[in-house]
Amino acid sequence: MLSQTELSKLKAGEKLNHFLIVTKVEERITRTNKPYLNLELRDKSMQFPAKLWDDIESKKPFLQEGKIVKLNGLLEDYQGSLQIKINSFSPAKESDNVNSSDFLPKSDRDFQTMERELTNRLNNIDNEYFKKLIKNILSDETYKSYVHVPAGKAWHHSYVHGLLEHTLEIIRICDLMCDIHSELNRDLLISGAILHDFGKTQELTYEPNFDYTDKGKLLGHIVISAIEIEKAAKKIPNFPDDLKDQLIHLVLSHQGKLEYASPVEPKTLEAIALYQADELSAKTNAYKLAIKAEANIDSNWTKYLPLAGTSLFIPKDDLEKEKTLFD
């Protein structure tokens, strides 16, 4: 069992003597034409950038993505952001008794509780075509991946069980919208919520590290999901074409706009509800993670976040008071 102070609890100026996993390696060139390595290293709580300036050719083999190292260094403040200064490192040995799973962040929600909630949501779908389709799709290895993969590599719900947590949040939002707007087809919308991101079971991997698969890079989770739904629906006798097309439309349009990688924009009530539910879940989680990642810096604001288009305010006194509807 790995026992060390989590990176998230360290502040600038504190020393590191930690096992960390390498999550990114880029070889770059300085202005004076000298090569260096641009790195990211993490434990299960968070990740920090680092740079290696000297003797990089001999050290590169030990700093590949997914490799675990024992690092001695310092957490330092560089232009308002924390980064790791590497003094020395060595590859982890088998006798150190550490593995990649020790460094993967996990959902704060109880896994078995989330599994039961998903099962209950599925069983509450009245439409037998949708229910059978989802059960056929989410079976065996696909189900195992569905409940374990992150919802994203870095931006939102980027931890083990992240896709499951994200999906359950969206289902709750969609369910509430159906209570408010009776015109919404609840079975269609909840089915779309369950399946909207399941292509990430093939797009993302979580072992030994969070990353995109070759198929994920070539096709993307939206296209993967649409293809799999089409295939699965054909195996169910008399599956109504209109329901299948509306369900696939929910998947294709759930990112809202063409420039956000949706092949089509939302054109039904259910599609606009799913898009907004997805946005709310994803962005709230992403902003929360961004704030937590910089909670230990001496500032009330995060660095500028390109994906957010702004810096975010850090409410220092409220970080320990976090509660959710799931508690």
| Residue 217 belongs to domain with CATH number | 1.10.3210
pLDDT of residue 327 exceeding 70, the answer is no
Supply the DSSP string of 12-70, one letter for each residue: TT-EEEEEEEEEEEEEEE-TTS-EEEEEEEE-SS-EEEEEE-SSHHHHGGGSSTT-EEE
Boundaries of domain holding 227: 104-287
Same domain, residue pair 118 and 209: yes
Give the mean model confidence (pLDDT) for residues 197-218.
89
Contacts of 217 (CB under 8 A, 6+ apart): none
For residues 308 and 279, the answer to whether their CB atoms sit within 8 Å is no
| Residue 62 domain-assigned (yes or no) | yes
pLDDT of residue 313 exceeding 60, the answer is yes
Same domain, residue pair 130 and 98: no
Same domain, residue pair 58 and 162: no
pLDDT of residue 17 exceeding 70, the answer is yes
| Residue 95 domain-assigned (yes or no) | yes
For residues 222 and 255, the answer to whether their CB atoms sit within 8 Å is yes
pLDDT of residue 207 exceeding 60, the answer is yes
pLDDT of residue 317 exceeding 70, the answer is no
pLDDT of residue 96 exceeding 60, the answer is yes
Average pLDDT, the chain: 88
Q: What is the pLDDT confidence band of residue 148, given thresholds at 50, 70 and 90?
A: very high
- Give the bridge partners for 305, in sequence order: 310
For residues 41 and 327, the answer to whether their CB atoms sit within 8 Å is no
| 37-86 confidence digits (pLDDT tens) | 899 998 888 888 988 888 888 888 888 888 899 999 898 888 777 889 88
Identify the pLDDT of residue 318. Answer: 54
Give the mean model confidence (pLDDT) for residues 264-280.
96
- Number of domains the chain is built from: 2
Same domain, residue pair 96 and 135: no
- Provide the token pair at 231: 């295939």
Same domain, residue pair 141 and 265: yes
| Residue 18 domain-assigned (yes or no) | yes
For residues 197 and 250, the answer to whether their CB atoms sit within 8 Å is no
- Whether the full predicted model's pTM is greater than 0.95, yes or no, is no
Domain end call among 102, 132, 154: 102
Same domain, residue pair 118 and 246: yes
Same domain, residue pair 13 and 125: no
pLDDT of residue 326 exceeding 80, the answer is no
Same domain, residue pair 207 and 257: yes
Q: What is the pLDDT confidence band of residue 256, given thresholds at 50, 70 and 90?
A: confident
Q: Which strand (E) or helix (H) includes residue 77? A: strand 68-78
Domain at 27, CATH number? 2.40.50.140
Going from the C-alpha of 209 to that of each of 50, 101, 112, 144, 259, the distances in angstroms are 18, 8, 23, 17, 28
Percent of the chain predicted with pLDDT > 70 = 94
| 212-237 confidence digits (pLDDT tens) | 999 999 999 999 999 999 999 999 99
For residues 239 and 233, the answer to whether their CB atoms sit within 8 Å is yes
Contacts of 77 (CB under 8 A, 6+ apart): 12, 13, 297, 298
